[in-house]
Amino acid sequence: MKKYILKRILISVVTIFILVTVTFFMLRTIPGSPFNSGTVIISSEMQAQLEEHYGLNRPLIEQYGDFMINLLKCDLGYSLKYTNRSVNGIIAESAPISATLALYAICLGYPIGLFLGVTSARKRGKMIDYGCVFFAILGVSIPSFVFATSMQYFLGVKLGVLPIAQFKTPLHAIMPTIALAIPIIAGTTRTMRASTLEVSSQDYIKTAKAKGLSESQIIWRHQMRNAIIPIVTGIGPTIAGLLTGSFIIEQIFAIPGLGRHYVQSITALDYTMTMGMTIFFGVMLVLANLIVDLLYGVVDPRIVIDK
C-alpha cells in the first residue's frame, strides 16, 4: 500500500510538472499584453516599460526557469492584475470559500442522488421511477444557472425568503448549494439507477434472495456496494471541479470563490494568476483521483491496488 501511494505521488509530480510546463508556454502564445487588458488602455511605450519592469521581455526560457525555482519554494508570485496581492494569498483566501460550498453540494447531492437512483431502480416502471428519471434528465440537461436565476427570482425577489446573493450566513448558502447539487443529484440518480438495475439481475442477488435475506440487507450489503463503483469513479473529478469553484454559480451569487479568478485571469492575461490556478486545480485533481483509487479498495475488496 505504502509503495503504491509513493509510486502514485511520484507519477503525480511528473504529471504536474508537465502540466505546468505546457501551460506556461501555451499561455505565452496568447497574443496581447497583461498591461493592456481592458481596464485602462495605456500607450505602447508605457506598456513596454511595464513589461520590462516585470521581466516579461526576457527570453521565455529564462522566465520559465525563474518560475520553476519559485514554484519549488511554493511561491506563485504576485498577480499582475491585483497589484500587490500574491497569488498564494488570493488562493488561500478564496479556496476555503469554494471548498465550503463544494462540501455542502457534495453532502446534499450524493446522498439524494444515491437514494433516488436506488429507489428508481427498485420501483422500475412505476410512477416514482418515471418521476426520478424525468427529474434526472431535467437536472442534467438544464444548465445550473437557469436554476440559479429562477431560484433568485422566486425565492429571493418575489417571496423574499432567502438572500439573493453574497456568502455570509448559512442562509446565503442555500440557493448556491442547491444550484450546484442539482447536476450532482441528476447525474448520480441516472448512473445509480442504471448500475443498480444491472446488479439486480446478477446471480448473487438471486442467491441472497434465496437465502432469505431481508430486502434492506440485500440492498445495503449486496446491491449498493456493487452498484456504487461507477459513482466512485466520477467522484474524483467532480470534487476537484467543485473545489476550484464554479465560475457561473459564483458569478450569479456573488461568491468570492476561486472559479471567477480562474476564468478572469485567463481573459485578463494575468500570467501568474493563471499559472497558480492551474497548478492548484492540477494538484486537487491528482489528489482527488488518488483518494478515489484508494477508496475502490474499501468499497470493493476484490479490487486490489497493491500490485
Partner 1 sequence: MVILKNLKVKIKKRGNVMKKFAAYLLTMVMLSSAIVGCGSYETSDSSEVGGESSNIETLTFAVGMDADTLDAQKINISRSGEIAYYIYANLLKSYNGKIEYDIAESHEISEDGLVYTFNLREAFWQDGEKVTAEDFRYAVERILDPATASTQAEDYYFIKNAEAFNKGEITDPSLLGVKAIDENTYEMTLEYEHPYLLTFLSVDTPTYPVRKDVVDQYGSNYGSSVDTVLCNGPYTLTKWAAESEIVMTKNENYWNSENITVNELIRLTVADANTRMGMFDSGDIDCTNETVADMAGNYPGAEDSISGTIRSLQINVEGRTAETKDLMSNRNFINALSYSIDRVAFTNAVDGKFTQPINRFGFSSFEGANGGSYNDENTLTNLVPLEGNKDKAIEYFESALEELGLTRETMPTVTVVCFDNNFRTKAEAYIDTWAQVLGVTSIELTVYPIPVAIQNCQSRNYDIYLQSYSVGIDPYDYLAAWVSDGGVNWTGWSDPVYDKMISDSKYITNQEERYELLADAEQYLLENGPQIPINNPGSYYLINDEIQGYYNGDGGSDKQQFQHCTYVN
Neighbours of 134 (CB within 10 A): 10
Does residue 54 interact with partner 1 by CB under 8 A? yes
Does residue 30 interact with partner 1 by CB under 8 A? yes
> What's phi and psi for 72, nearest 5 deg?
-60, -30
C-alpha cell at 62: 529564462
For residues 155 and 164, give the distance between their C-alpha atoms in angstroms, rounded to a whole number: 8
Which residue in the set 152, 177, 195, 238 belongs to the binding site for partner 1 (CB under 8 A)? 152
The amino acid sitting at 88 is N
3-state secondary structure of 291: helix
Which residue in the set 7, 58, 85, 126 belongs to the binding site for partner 1 (CB under 8 A)? 85
Does residue 138 interact with partner 1 by CB under 8 A? no
Which helix (H) or strand (E) is 129 found in, with range?
helix 127-141
Which residue in the set 4, 82, 115, 296 belongs to the binding site for partner 1 (CB under 8 A)? 82
For residue 255, the minimal CB distance to partner 1 (Å) is 8
Neighbours of 34 (CB within 10 A): 21
Does residue 157 interact with partner 1 by CB under 8 A? yes
Nearer to partner 1, 109 or 259 (CB): 259
For residue 31, the minimal CB distance to partner 1 (Å) is 5
For residues 252 and 111, give the distance between their C-alpha atoms in angstroms, rounded to a whole number: 26
Does residue 17 interact with partner 1 by CB under 8 A? no
Which residue in the set 15, 23, 37, 202 belongs to the binding site for partner 1 (CB under 8 A)? 37
3-state secondary structure of 86: strand
For residue 243, the minimal CB distance to partner 1 (Å) is 17
Q: How many Å separate Cα 21 from the centre of its chain?
A: 22
Nearer to partner 1, 80 or 292 (CB): 80
State the number of binding residues for partner 1 (CB under 8 A). Answer: 57
Per this entry, what is the length of the chain? 307
Nearer to partner 1, 110 or 262 (CB): 262
Nearer to partner 1, 17 or 154 (CB): 154
> Which residues within the stretch 257-276 sit at the binding site for partner 1 (CB under 8 A)?
260-261, 263-264, 267-269
Does residue 126 interact with partner 1 by CB under 8 A? no
End-to-end Cα distance, the chain: 9
Who's near 27: CB < 8 A, 6+ residues apart? 271, 274, 275
Residue 262 burial (10 A CB sphere; 0-12, 13-18, 19+): buried
Specify the stretch interacting with partner 1 by CB under 8 A; choose among 3-11, 65-73, 90-98, 178-186: 90-98
Neighbours of 128 (CB within 10 A): 14
> Which residues within the stretch 182-241 sit at the binding site for partner 1 (CB under 8 A)?
none
Q: Identify any residues that bridge with 78 across adjacent strands, giving them in sequence order.
A: 86
Does residue 176 interact with partner 1 by CB under 8 A? no
Who's near 289: CB < 8 A, 6+ residues apart? 236, 237, 240
Residue ranges in contact with partner 1 by CB under 8 A:
30-46, 49-50, 53-54, 78, 81-86, 89-90, 93-94, 149, 152-153, 156-157, 160, 163-167, 250-256, 260-261, 263-264, 267-269
